[in-house]
Amino acid sequence: MDTIFSLFKRTPMPQERRSYSKSFKAQVIAECAQPDTSIANVALTHNLNANLVHKWIRAHVQKALALQTAFIPVKASPSAAVHQVLPATIRIEVPHSKGVVVVSWPAENAAACSAFLRDLLR
């Protein structure tokens, strides 16, 4: 005598997964993108699991982000590359009875400038 459990053991369960075309996935994703549309409702109308539709949407978004962040080479113009930095100078104004004495000295030689000022102010 067969029991219900023995009948279940004998019948193999089909293990095939359904596959969907790219155009069908794109259509479902487009329907979900419409305003005031529930993803669960779109999934039900197409006899799909809502989790599967969410998975398709995530994959679509990741693919779109990958396309946006692609490297785009930019050619720099030579005029933008030539940026001259003016050398820094030390500028000192010393008031004198006959007028103002202005000393301009390259900043690289600051030690020599201080020696010059020491000798000048003695």
For the entire predicted model, the pTM comes to 0.46
Query: Residue 77 has what pLDDT?
Result: 72
CA distance 94 to 76: 46
Enclosing domain of residue 102: 89-120
- The answer to whether residue 12 is domain-embedded is no
Q: What is the pLDDT of residues 76-98, one digit of tens each?
A: 776 655 666 677 888 888 887 88
- The answer to whether residue 7 is domain-embedded is no
- The answer to whether residue 62 is domain-embedded is yes
- The answer to whether residue 46 is domain-embedded is yes
For the chain, how many structural domains are there in total? Answer: 2
Residues 60 and 30 in one domain: yes
- The answer to whether residue 39 is domain-embedded is yes
Which residue is listed with tokens 């039900």? Answer: 44
User: For residue 93, what are the β-bridge partners?
Assistant: 102
Q: Provide the residue type at 74 as one letter.
A: V
